[in-house]
Every structure is written in C-alpha cells, then in structure tokens.
Amino acid sequence: MIGIGCTFEHRVSFLYGWRTRFGNNCIVDAYAQFKCPTSFEQTKRHNIEIGNNVFIGRGTIIDSNFSVRIGNNTFIAPTCFITDTNHNFEFPNLPIREQGGRYEPVDIGEDVWIGTHTVIVAGVSIGNGSIVAANSTVTRDVPHGVIVGGSPARFLKYRPGFER
C-alpha cells in the first residue's frame, strides 16, 4: 500500500511488496530495497510499516520477516541496513545455516535521523527525536531524544531540548 504523494526514484525494488505499507509524502531514493520474503507475524498485514513524510536514502535495505515500523518524519540516510531477523547459533555441532532464525520487531520512532551506513539489528527500538551517527551499529534500544554512535552504538549526548 502506498500513500498519497509518495515518490520512488529509479531501481527501487520490492520482494513481496504487498507486505510493505507507506504513509503519505514519503520519498524513497534510488536502489533502495524492501524485502519481506516470509511473514512470521500472522496478525499483521504488513511486515514493514512506514509513516508519513519519511525519507529513505539511496541503497538502503529493509529486510523484514516479522515487523519493522518507521515513524513519521524520519530521515534514513543512504546505504543503511535494517533487519528484524537474526540467526540462531546455540548448537556448535550443527551448522549455523541449519539452526533457523529468530525474529524480533524493530521500532524506529518519529522525527529520527539515521546516519549513513548504519546497521539496525533485530529487537531494537529507537526513541522519538533521536539521532544515530553515521557508521553505527544499533544493537540495543535507544531512548527518546539522544544522540548515539559507534559500533556498537552508545550514548553520546542528549539532543538539544531533550536534556534530562
């Protein structure tokens, strides 16, 4: 489902695109990919839900087998990777490829800025008004109104106006 006023640049690709929902006035830059090869959340109609006025940068990949939600007015810079899927690896005598996966929702709040080359892994929530610095790997929840960076991403400072 695509909202009113959305713009898609050339070579944007969808794998099972009917599992992706866009709000109004979204912009998706060239070569972005939306992948929903399976759906393990039986009560949801869409694996990927994108709010209004969201920008998704060139070459960004969103890979969802469960649930990825992106809030209104969020800016995702080029070449980011967002996934709600991870591999199991608990059994050393069984190849990782044969151990299956685990699926945990990703929730990106409203008015969030995700810097270029950022990776966001399964089970992470990013609070409203937060900023993730370029080249970061987000492996745990990010509170509202903070700036995080690094690999793994860690607290750097509060965003102006969100100080505690």
Annotated active-site residue in 10, 46, 87, 117: 87
Could you confirm whether 117 is annotated as catalytic?
no
Percent of the residues in the chain that have a pLDDT greater than 70, as a whole number: 94
What pTM value is reported for the model? 0.92
Dump strand ranges (E) for 53-141: 55-56, 61-63, 68-70, 75-76, 81-83, 85-87, 101-103, 106-108, 113-114, 119-120, 125-126, 131-132, 137-138
Q: For 43-75, write each residue's pLDDT tens digit.
A: 666 789 999 999 999 999 999 988 999 999 999
Query: CATH classification of 7-158 is 1.10.10.60, yes or no?
Result: no
Q: Residue 124: what pLDDT?
A: 98
Domain residue extents for the chain = 7-158
